């Protein structure tokens, strides 16, 4: 493999775990295509892979990693605990299954995928996650789709804070309050669906900014994320778009361009509502 060292700077958790800022998302990458996709992603320079048990592509991700020629510690690997496995009895076997599928003895980050508050199991689950971290089989543990009330509940139970909260963030759903709260509490924000699943490609407020820098609209959006200082997880199956999405460090948005993107927020979440979603 002729992969360059990852160009992406690192964001470091309060526990000292460095996370490459631009990661590669694997949601909706079909299992039979995932091996090629991950091989391409590693080859163009990604050093951070974001999968989940529910994506069905952990095994293909692990297979691509195993034959990449890269050392284990060169690639940051995240997977996630699905909702049906919440709770003490479900979480430990689910974690073992994920490690088996990936063919790894540890992951870099293990996340509770959704709090699913109606099920009433996320507090108990978080307790198990901290035990997994203590065992060394996950270098860091965190949560995903946790709103302020869910983070507050962990605090109220005297539990350690998550290293990471992975949430839907893009120009039309900026989650400023939640991001500020995470920053206050030393929780790294990871932005999922950072390109609003491709919906912003022809946005009229973004095309002039892209033209001014001779880049594409997705590159403007990803640059905006990078300048916000959070981790960002674009997904694409196209090798050319993978390379373009990683190539956002050679230009800088001006304060007025950042402000123009900030103005696009309309609290338009694409994904499910974390208050009610139980995976059904």
Ligand X SMILES: NC(=O)c1ccc[n+]([C@@H]2O[C@H](COP(=O)([O-])OP(=O)(O)OC[C@H]3O[C@@H](n4cnc5c(N)ncnc54)[C@H](OP(=O)(O)O)[C@@H]3O)[C@@H](O)[C@H]2O)c1
Binding residues vs ligand X (CB under 6 A)? 25-28, 50, 113, 144-145, 166, 192-198, 201, 218, 233-238, 241, 244-245, 271
Q: Please report how close the Cβ of residue 158 comes to ligand X at its closest, in angstroms.
A: 26
Q: Read off the DSSP letter of residue 4.
A: P
Q: Please report how close the Cβ of residue 50 comes to ligand X at its closest, in angstroms.
A: 4
DSSP letters of 6-20? Answer: P---EEE-TTS-EEE
- The torsion angles phi and psi of 111, rounded to 5 degrees, stand at -120, 145
Residue with smaller CB distance to ligand X, 174 or 193? 193
Q: Under a CB-based contact definition with an 8 Å cutoff, are residues 144 and 167 in contact?
A: yes
How many Å apart are CA 215 and CA 247, to the nearest integer? 10
Q: Please report how close the Cβ of residue 27 comes to ligand X at its closest, in angstroms.
A: 3
Q: Under a CB-based contact definition with an 8 Å cutoff, are residues 190 and 170 in contact?
A: no
- Active site annotation includes 55: yes
Q: Are strands 164-168 and 138-144 parallel, antiparallel or unpaired?
A: parallel
Residue with smaller CB distance to ligand X, 154 or 245? 245
**The residue to which tokens 């919906």 are assigned:** 199
Would you put residue 45 in left (φ > 0), alpha (ψ -120 to 50) or beta?
A: left
Maximum pairwise Cα distance, the chain: 54
Residue with smaller CB distance to ligand X, 50 or 108? 50
Choose the catalytic residue: 55, 110, 122, 192.
Answer: 55
Q: Read off the DSSP letter of residue 187.
A: P
Q: Please report how close the Cβ of residue 237 comes to ligand X at its closest, in angstroms.
A: 4
Residue with smaller CB distance to ligand X, 134 or 228? 228
Reported residue count of the chain is: 280
Residue with smaller CB distance to ligand X, 107 or 233? 233
Would you name the residues annotated as active-site residues?
A: 55
């Amino acid at each position: 493999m002729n992969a360059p060292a990852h160009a992406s700077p690192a964001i470091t958790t309060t526990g000292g775990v460095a996370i490459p800022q631009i990661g590669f998302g694997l949601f909706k990458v079909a299992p039979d295509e995932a091996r090629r996709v991950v091989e391409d992603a590693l080859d163009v320079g990604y050093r951070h892979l974001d999968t989940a048990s529910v994506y069905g592509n952990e095994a293909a991700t692990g297979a691509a990693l195993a034959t990449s020629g890269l050392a284990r510690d060169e690639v940051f690997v995240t997977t996630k605990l699905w909702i049906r496995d919440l709770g003490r009895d479900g979480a430990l076997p689910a974690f073992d299954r994920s490690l088996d599928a990936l063919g790894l003895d540890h992951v870099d980050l293990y996340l509770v995928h959704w709090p699913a508050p109606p099920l009433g199991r996320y507090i108990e689950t978080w307790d198990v996650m901290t035990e997994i971290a203590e065992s060394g089989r996950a270098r860091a543990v965190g949560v995903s789709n946790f709103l302020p009330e869910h983070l507050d509940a962990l605090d109220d139970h005297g539990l350690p804070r998550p290293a990471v909260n992975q949430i839907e963030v893009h120009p039309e759903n900026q989650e400023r309050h939640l991001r500020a709260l995470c920053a206050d509490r030393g929780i790294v924000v990871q932005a999922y669906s950072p390109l609003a699943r491709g919906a912003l490609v022809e946005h009229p407020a973004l095309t002039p900014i892209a033209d001014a820098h001779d880049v594409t609209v997705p590159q403007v959006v990803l640059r905006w994320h990078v300048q916000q200082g959070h981790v960002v997880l674009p997904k694409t199956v196209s090798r050319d778009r993978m390379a373009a999405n990683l190539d956002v460090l050679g230009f800088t948005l001006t304060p007025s361009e950042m402000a123009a993107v900030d103005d696009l927020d309309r609290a338009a979440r694409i994904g499910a509502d974390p208050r009610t979603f139980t995976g059904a």
